[in-house]
Amino acid sequence: MTQHATGRAQAGISLVEMMVGIVVGLIIAIAITSSVAAIGKQFRITGAGASAAESAQLGLAMVERDARMAGAAVFSGSVATMCPRLNAYDATKVPATTNDGTPIGEAWPPVRITDGGTGSDTIDLILTPPAATINLNVAVTKELPTSSSVLKVSEPGGRLAVGDLVLVAQPPPNTSGYPCTLIQVTDITGNCTDGATGCNVNFGSGESVYNPPNANTAFSITEPYGPGSVLMKMPTFTYTRYRVQCNSLLRHDAGITPSCTGTPSYRDSALAAGIVMLKAQYGISNAGSDAIVQWKRASAIAAGEMARVKAVRVAIVAQSAEVDGTQVTSSAPVVFDGSQTLDLSALSLPPGKSWQNYRYRVHETVVPVRNSAWNR
């Protein structure tokens, strides 16, 4: 009896009990793993959303800061004072374009928006003073008629040369608001450094792509440039560009195009990652008023409306870096008080994913135009 009882006390776990224990353990492990995965996913979604919001806020702050100061270095200086308006012809464009007494702020707007259609817009801002030579006094020995294509110049510095693009301005102060006229020097005869006799600066009509074929009819307002008039070499207006490229907000000189492939150069000018859309509009007032009565896309601006722009509004759209297996965004983001629904179908995405597999953050701002030469 004693031996039998001892044998039963030493019996182990049966196979059924062991299998039940394994199943229970697996269920608990799966539950824990699922919970950890769900928490991790939610953590990544929250982090990616916060990062997207931070990128959008940073980018918008940069655009707003620069847009507030756009044009200040240009229109507070002598260029706008001497040249409130512009006569200019340009045959390099097809068709040839003519600025006929165009306000200086329209010819070289401090804030220039390029409509990107269903894609991102581009914003160009004048942030630096134009490079200009303004101390070229014109000494005209006789009153030249409007149709003349010769200016008598006394220019001891000898800085004028054939091919120079030159703005000719009325004697300062230009209280009548006559436009400056853009010419290209086609010939110089005589000795410009001789202050007594000077030289002839020729800009024959049709002899340059910047001199109109018929100067007598090209511009509706032309005045003789008499003694005391001023020549200044064509200013170089440098624009700083904001654009969305390579899923980033870039800030760079408007004269370059960063590359996304090969040896990527966009990183040199990238401000914020995860930005997929930039939209902008002009705020236009009625003549003589500061109140904005309508907002317009750049492609919808009519002649004369640029002079009545009081503000620009900007929207930046950031995309979360966390992609979801399901369509977590059911409808496309809207901007500008719901007046514009964005088309995100052209975004560059991984195979098998659409824009609806991502979350988006939209940030907007309205920036008043502080440049009085533009909006007055």
**pLDDT tens profile 119-146:** 999 999 988 777 655 555 555 555 555 5
Q: Tell me, what amino acid is at 355?
A: W
The pLDDT-based confidence of 375 (bands split at 50, 70, 90) is very low
Residue from 65, 237, 75, 81 nearest 169 by CA: 81
Contact of 87 with 123, CB cutoff 8 Å = no
**Residues with Cβ within 8 Å of residue 259, at least 6 apart in sequence:** 265, 266
**278: pLDDT strictly greater than 90:** yes
**277: pLDDT strictly greater than 60:** yes
Bridge partners of residue 168, in order along the sequence: 181, 231
Report d(CA 75, CA 17) in Å as an integer: 88
pTM for the model stands at: 0.77
Q: Percentage of residues in the chain with pLDDT exceeding 70?
A: 83
For residue 38, the model assigns a pLDDT of 66
Residue bearing the bigger pLDDT, 280 or 37: 280
Instruction: Label the pairing between strands 230-233 and 165-169.
Output: antiparallel
Report d(CA 291, CA 376) in Å as an integer: 13
Report d(CA 26, CA 266) in Å as an integer: 50
pLDDT digits (tens, 9 = 90+) for 14-47: 777 778 778 888 888 787 777 766 666 665 565 5
- DSSP-derived letter for residue 204 is -
Report d(CA 191, CA 321) in Å as an integer: 67
Report d(CA 296, CA 306) in Å as an integer: 11
pLDDT digits (tens, 9 = 90+) for 196-250: 777 888 888 888 999 988 877 888 877 677 777 877 888 778 899 999 999 899 9
Report d(CA 188, CA 85) in Å as an integer: 27
Instruction: Label the pairing between strands 230-233 and 187-190.
Output: unpaired
